[in-house]
Amino acid sequence: MVKWIGISVAAGLAALAIAVWSNRALLAEASGTVAQTLCSKTFVTGLPPAEAYAEHLRPEPGMGLIDWALHYDVDRVRREVRASIAGTFARRSVYRDGRGCTLVYAEVALPAPISVQQGDAILPEIAGGEIVVADNARLRAAVDAAFAEDGSGPPRRTKAVVVVHDGRVVAERYAPGYGVNTPLLSHSIAKSVANALAGILVQRGDLSVSDVVPAGRGAITVDSLLRMNAGFGFDEGGGPSRSTQMWFNEADTAKFAAQAPLSTPGRWGYSSGGYAILSRIIGDKIGGGPQGVRAFAQSALFDPLGMRHVTLEFDARGTMMGANAMFATPRDFARFGLLYLNDGVVGGRRILPAGWVAYSTRPTGDAGYGAGFWLNTTDAQIPEWGFRWGLPGAPRDAFMARGYLGQYVVMVPSEKLVVVRFGASHGPGAAVDSVGRLVGDAVRSLRAPS
């Protein structure tokens, strides 16, 4: 009997070893995700690491299987986070002033800080220093409803809502521990910011949407990267994916993205890899590495809009994480929304090329996606994801910058309205129905104030 028990234990350990070995890339990716996310959430946003882990990481697909073995350590003196799984797959992310957090790789030198020099704003101030509580009772109720949990699905965990009408904040609310100066993670809203930087380069004559992408792929243009119809197919969808491998397990995100096979050229497929390649192109056109990119973005985009709490993150090789990672306050994101609401013009000065907003909001084929922005032109099903396009309850002309876990910057030109909503909303659709109701209720309340 003892012999058979010994054989059984040995077989179990062997099976465990095989499982670990066959999934080592996923486990390294998981520890990289924890190190990077907690570093950014701790040292950029200022959240308690335990709260960030519980709300952002623990509910992620597959995390429950390794939670028991996961260990992380936050070093506030060195400003870095280390993570490992059962003492292996150790990863480290370090914070540097001006550039947020970066995962460390043995073959790449540690990142250098970035100097940020802020200039004058062109956009008039959109609010004072205090939280704006709506005078309109119906609007106040709409904002409060966005924070309510209905108990019918995963928690919404709304963290911030800002409503801007006719250029001014008319209502806002923040979860405990958050406020007007709290920088929040954009997730894929960063793609819309990459769209803006590309547009500025187009206006300056340094880039064209018809430019063919380097690396010998003649079918891929800047336009096809912006529109996600280059042919890379879906590379993201919740849980481990080619995109999460790129972000959390690759030192050179653009190089990794460029190696992806082309499957369906001309067909829309959500591609964060395409925006990693676009980010490399933008960086190469600007020059000067992370410092050059940040200085350009600051003077050409953030300063005119008065965006004062922005952090752009970069990969270990210095490419902007233009697919998934920048930080700014909800009011800063509202200022960004005003740029697109007003056709790329701020305070009488054109920031984006004439026609750029129309280009960015023109549907890509039959998809509810333009070029870096989601549209409200169709409610057809997205089979690969199991939910529908669009923003239910919002006017048809609404369009939005949208990020994972329920980050939204919604523009409604017909109503002179921008609605910003940030949260930690796991589950299909990432609270899209709730955000649609918020936008629709805001429209109705502003049309008929009480």
Considering only CA atoms, give the Rg of the chain.
22
Helix (H) or strand (E) holding 400, with range, is strand 399-403
418 DSSP assignment = E
| Mean pLDDT, the chain, integer | 92
Predicted pLDDT of residue 382: 87
Residues of the chain with pLDDT under 50: 1-22
Predicted pLDDT of residue 18: 35
Predicted pLDDT of residue 448: 83
The strand ranges marked E within 1-138 are 70-75, 80-85, 88-96, 100-103
Predicted pLDDT of residue 353: 98
Kindly report the CA angle at 59 between 57 and 63, in degrees rounded to 5?
70
The span from the CA of 419 to the CA of 340, in Å, is 13
Mapped onto helix, strand or coil, the DSSP state of residue 215 is: coil
Predicted pLDDT of residue 216: 65
Report, in this order, helix, strand and coil percent for the chain, each rounded to 5.
Answer: 40, 20, 45
Predicted pLDDT of residue 6: 38
What tens digit of pLDDT does each residue of 253-264 get? 999 999 998 888
The span from the CA of 308 to the CA of 304, in Å, is 10
Q: What is the dihedral of CA 408, 412, 413, 416, to 10 degrees?
A: -100
Cβ atoms of 93 and 325 closer than 8 Å:
no
Looking at 159-261, list the stretches that DSSP marks H as alpha helix, in order from N- to C-terminal side: 189-203, 222-227, 242-249, 253-258
Predicted pLDDT of residue 190: 98
Region class of 366: left (phi > 0), else alpha (psi between -120 and 50), else beta: alpha
Burial class (CB in 10 A: 0-12, 13-18, 19+), 151: exposed
Question: Where in the chain are all domains bearing CATH 3.40.710.10?
Answer: 137-447
Cβ atoms of 439 and 421 closer than 8 Å:
no
Record the tokens describing residue 98, joined without a space.
């001006």
Give 137-447's CATH code, choosing from 3.40.50.1980, 3.40.710.10, 3.30.465.10, 3.30.360.10: 3.40.710.10
- Amino acid at site 47: L
The closest alpha carbon to 55, from 151, 179, 146, 159, belongs to: 159
Predicted pLDDT of residue 90: 97
What tens digit of pLDDT does each residue of 295-338 get? 999 999 999 999 999 999 999 999 999 999 999 999 999 999 99
Predicted pLDDT of residue 236: 86
